[in-house]
Structure 1
Amino acid sequence: MRLIRRRLAFVAAAVLLVLTGGCGPATPEHITLTLATFGQFGYDDLIPGYEFTHPGITVRQVRTEQGGPYHQDLLGKLQNGQGLADIQAVEEGHLADVLAQSDKFADLAKVGPADVKPGRWLEWKYEAGRSKDGKLVGYGTDIGPLAMCYRKDLLEAAGLPTDPGSVKTMFATWDSYFAAGDKYVKRTHGKAWFDSAAQNFNAMVNQLPVGYLDRQDHPTLETNTALKAAWDQVTTAVRQGQSAGLTAFADDGNNGLRTGAFATKVCPSWMLGIIEQQAGPANAGKWAITDAFPDGGGNWGGSYLAVPAASPHQREAAALAAWLTAPEQQLHAFRVSGNFPSQVDAFTSADLLSEMNGYFGGALSGQVFVAQARKVGKPQYKGPGDGKIQETVIAPALKSVEHGADPGAVWQQVLIGVHRVVP
């Protein structure tokens, strides 16, 4: 069914472009545009449609599986000025590092198609793609409203409720979530409640008004009591045996999805595609999703498409980026990968609201994430180094706690490590 849907999406996209005359400037000579992405953006089936209606353009997508290595590579290329793609995807956790080098990117408000207006996007998503001097560095792709995914069969085997109402109550707050985790560990004689301390902590931090950095780009960890409380809560759960101690998106984390090594997982919308891909057909229907998340909603993730100033085809690249971030294409990306659109028209689309995910037991996943997205206020400010703090300081620190280190002593090392990233 998914393959048929993808083919239909390709045909529909091609027909739409033929009828509308395509998008962007004419290309008298053949050019190749490189598109650098990470993870799953849902563009594989769209690119042939764009090439079909733009016979002078070939699009070569270069995809890196993990976002951390991708962004380290991107920042290195920005520093030496070589090897950049015509379009570079940028995840919101690393966006501040890119905006701080806005002179190395084209202003999409100037080189992009004239009919692409700010009103295409949710206001906060559009504004977050602008540098401090007002340059539009990135077209917004997706956002990451948070829900909770869980294995119905594992909860049922442990005598925990799986019906929607009871599950919502169980996941209402982080206190109730971790309390349920204690029950699960005891009733299953030590099986893990969640996959990774870093995954849960990242979601908890993203819910806070202030994260690792304030708006003056100063580290907050010494004074941010809410952040320290989240650390204490998740590390306590680790010491009680709730974490499987896996690394998300790595081999052990993917294997944990296949083997049922844990019962619950924080689920931004883009996680659905990852779970389906890695857990595999054998686990279809065992996973479920609820429009509930501890202590309300939140946003985790979402990306942008930016055009480096070094590209010799800035206008053509901007036209492709604009097309990929149009509502129709973003709806397709959601159906394929779970990446929830940031475009206003897509957000209210009947197609989105009626989207049903067979892998997750027929859940109306569009409605789930519309409900969760409506709970998101203004996203937390993330300054330069935010993503690096999470990936090179926080995640390894929590991994050491999962391996038995004392959380208090590790926290002191975190404070030192953060100041190495952001002096």
Structure 2
Amino acid sequence: MTRRRSAWIVAAAVCVLTGSCGSTTPQQITLTIATFGQFGYEDLLAAYRFNHPGITIRQERADQGGPYHQDLLTKLKTGQGLADIQAVEEGHLADVLAESAKFNDLARIGPREVRPERWLPWKYEAGRTKDGKLIGYGTDIGPLAMCYRKDLLQAAGLPTDPGSVKAMFATWDSYFRAGEGYVRRSKGKPWFDSAPQTFNAMVNQLPVGYLDTENHSTLETNTAIKAAWNKITAAVAQGQSAGLTAFADDENNGLRLGGFATKVCPSWMLGVIEKEAGLDNAGKWAIVDAFPDGGGNWGGSYLTVPQASAHPKEAAELAAWLTAPEQQLTAFRISGNFPSQVAALESPDLLSEQNSYFGGALFGQVFVAQARKVAKPQYKGPGDGQIQESVVAPALNSVEHGADPDAAWQQVLLGVHRIVP
């Protein structure tokens, strides 16, 4: 199917769903929308243009999120070059919230029918400032489940049926206890891929993370983070971590060669596993609707409207439309980005989605269940992502290579105070 015909079909469907069949605007305007990676918006934007002849839309899409967000922060400082709609990934949201004066309050300029109830509560709340200003409309989410290699667990004499696996993954204590048994039974094979990835998921579940709401470090007083550090480093000492680098060649090789048995699995990770593990491992991976100590989220984005936009009302209308349940389901079918809207999560189409690579798992049901387990969003102040990526991850890498955990923890404390008070 050609892109033009695909866009026409989407436009026709939107016309039926919304009743917006060829509406016009008073004047011809151009809106720019800046995104990164795969949002699945190309055909949707063509459909919106079809139904709004007075609007021209130009999409600026970066391949990588890291350079995109660095460029966004630079543009915010100068006030130049910003798009009418800027996508922001949740890992960088704290830096944008710190510049809230440079963004429109979507609760004020957006369509009146867009209510907080459209989104899961935690997704909506994470897009607001401390004083209640709504900076972004939520797009996708990355609810966390657990993925595991059935063949590797079976070879180690561990159960592979969902009920037994859910019991193993019920808490971090039970998860690491099962990992200790796996390493012993498999004669030294790793249980999980990476200490930093696993620890990041553990910290994101906590009520308070690296920073408090005044943007001060909590590391000296946050006993829950220190307890998580002790658990993950103890698991490393037992040989449970493969010591691989996230999204690098060594982790991809580990996926292909069976280098570890379990993996923290946000919804978008299924596509990564299928791509990197390859056809030879189809049916060996499984997914279960469980995550140690409850739910969690890793990933997802927001659409913001900078104050620099020449057409903020029209930009907010487009952003609201793109994040409506119908459009989020369309984006999900195109890109695999999991919806954050309540109505979309109740869609029979989503709930019946299967993944043949993972043995026909009803992955729509799995991740809807996991998304509903996520509690109040953890506050993340400016520097939170830098702490994880530049301080904590290298320290855990050093432990994986033989460093003393207590000495590595002291390096974490020193590193954090170079970033925040």
TM > 0.5 fold call: yes
In structure 2, the partner of 1:359 is: 357
Whole-Å Cα distance in 2 between the matches of residues 366 and 333 of structure 1?
A: 14
Could you tell me which residue of structure 2 aligns to residue 14 of structure 1? 11
Q: How does 1:235-246 map to 2 (within 5 A)?
A: 235-246=233-244
Greater displacement, 125-134 / 402-411:
125-134
Separation in 2, partners of 1:213, 1:233: 21
Match of 2:126 among 121, 125, 128: 128
Q: In the alignment, which of 373, 397, 400 is matched to residue 399 of structure 1? A: 397
- Structure 1 pair 247/10, CA: closer, same or farther in 2 (3 Å)? farther
Give 1:2-151 correspondences, 5 Å limit.
13-19=10-16, 20-21=19-20, 26=25, 28-29=27-28, 31=30, 33-38=32-37, 40-55=38-53, 56-65=55-64, 67-151=65-149
Contact 2:383 2:420 in 1 (8 A): yes
Shift, 1:194, TM fit: 1.2
Query: Per-residue displacement from partner, 1:332-376 (whole Å, max 9, x unpaired)?
Result: 333444433221211222222222122221111121122222222
Map of 1:319 onto structure 2: 317
Deviations 1:37-79 (A, max 9, x none): 24x43435534433444454233241333x4444333223322
1:232 counterpart (230, 233, 244): 230
Contact 2:76 2:82 in 1 (8 A): yes
Q: Please tell me whether the aligned partners of residues 51 and 59 of structure 1 are also in contact (alpha carbons under 8 angstroms).
A: no
TM-aligned CA distance change 1:57 to 1:109, over 3 Å: same
Q: Is the aligned partner of 1:304 residue 2:271? A: no
Measured at CA, do residues 282 and 59 of structure 1 come closer, stay the same or move farther in structure 2, by a change above 3 Å?
Answer: farther
Post-superposition Cα deviations, 1:109-148, rounded to whole Å, max 9, x if no partner, equal 3433343222212233223212234332100112332210
- The structural deviation recorded for 1:27 is 7.0
297 and 34 in structure 1: CA distance in 2 versus 1, 3 angstrom threshold:
closer
Identity of aligned residues (%): 72
Shift of 1:282: 3.6
The verdict on how the C-alpha distance between 1:249 and 1:332 changes in structure 2, with shifts beyond 3 A counting, is farther
**Partner residue, 1:332:** 330
User: In 2, are the aligned partners of 1:184 and 1:191 still within 8 Å (CA)?
Assistant: yes
Residues 346/278 of structure 1: CA separation in 2 closer, same or farther (3 Å cut) = same
Change (3 A) 1:342 1:261: same
Higher alpha-carbon deviation: 310-319 or 281-290: 310-319
What does residue range 172-211 of structure 1 map to in structure 2 within 5 Å?
A: 172-211=170-209
Q: 1:256 to 1:314 in 2, by over 3 A?
A: farther
Secondary structure class of the residue paired with 1:420: coil
**1:278-301 per-position Cα deviation (integer Å, ceiling 9, x unaligned):** 333443322211011112222333
Label 1:139 to 1:198 Cα distance change in 2 as closer, same or farther (>3 A): same
Counterpart in 1 of 2:372?
A: 374
* Unaligned ranges ≥5, structure 1: none
Number of aligned residue pairs: give it.
Answer: 418
Kept after mapping to 2: 8 A contact 1:393/1:417: yes
**CA distance, structure 1, for counterparts of residue 285 and residue 334 of structure 2:** 17
- 2:139 touches 2:339 (CA, 8 Å); kept in 1? yes
Distance 2:4 2:363 in 1: 21
Aligned ranges 1:217-296 → 2 under 5 Å: 217-296=215-294
CA 358–26 in structure 1, closer or farther in 2 if over 3 Å, else same: farther
Q: Extract unaligned runs of 5+ from structure 2.
A: none
Alpha-carbon distance between aligned partners in 1 of 2:21 and 2:330, rounded to the nearest angstrom: 17
Please identify, of 393-402 and 307-316, the stretch whose mean Cα deviation from structure 2 is larger: 307-316
Q: Is the 8 A contact 2:126 2:377 kept in 1?
A: no
Counterpart-to-counterpart distance in 1, 2:21 and 2:128: 27
Instruction: Give the 3 Å change call, closer, same or farther, for CA 412–137 of structure 1 in structure 2.
Output: same
Supply the distance in 2 between the matched residues of 1:165 and 1:416 (Cα, whole angstroms): 43
Deviation at 1:221, TM superposition (A): 0.7
Judged with a 3 Å threshold, the aligned counterparts in structure 2 of structure 1 residues 11 and 25 are, in CA distance, closer, same or farther, namely closer
Name which of structure 1's ranges 151-160 and 225-234 shifts more when overlaid on structure 2. Answer: 151-160
Does the residue aligned with 2:173 lie in a helix, a strand or coil? helix
Change (3 A) 1:27 1:185: farther
Q: Against the structure 1 CA distance between its residues 225 and 132, is the aligned structure 2 distance closer, same or farther, given a 3 Å change threshold?
A: closer
Contact kept? 1:197, 1:243, Cα under 8 Å? yes
Find the aligned partners of 1:195 and 1:415 in 2 and give their Cα distance.
25
Q: Distance in 2 between matches of 1:7 and 1:167?
A: 46
Q: Does the Cα contact within 8 Å between 1:274 and 1:337 map onto a contact in 2? A: no
The whole-number CA distance in structure 1 between the counterparts of 2:211 and 2:409 is 17
**Structure 1 pair 332–308 and aligned structure 2 pair: CA distance change class (3 A):** same
Find the aligned partners of 1:83 and 1:278 in 2 and give their Cα distance. Answer: 36
Change (3 A) 1:22 1:415: farther
Report the alpha carbon displacement of residue 213 of structure 1 after superposing the two structures with TM.
Answer: 1.2
Taking the aligned partners of 1:7 and 1:254, their CA distance within structure 2 comes to: 35
Root mean square deviation, CA, Å: 2.7
Does the 8 A contact of 1:77 with 1:84 survive in 2? yes
Q: Deviations over 1:299-326 (max 9, x none)?
A: 3333211122223343343233212211
- In the alignment, the residues of structure 2 paired with residue 70 and residue 78 of structure 1 have an alpha-carbon distance, to the nearest angstrom, of 12
Q: Is the 8 A contact 1:24 1:113 kept in 2?
A: no
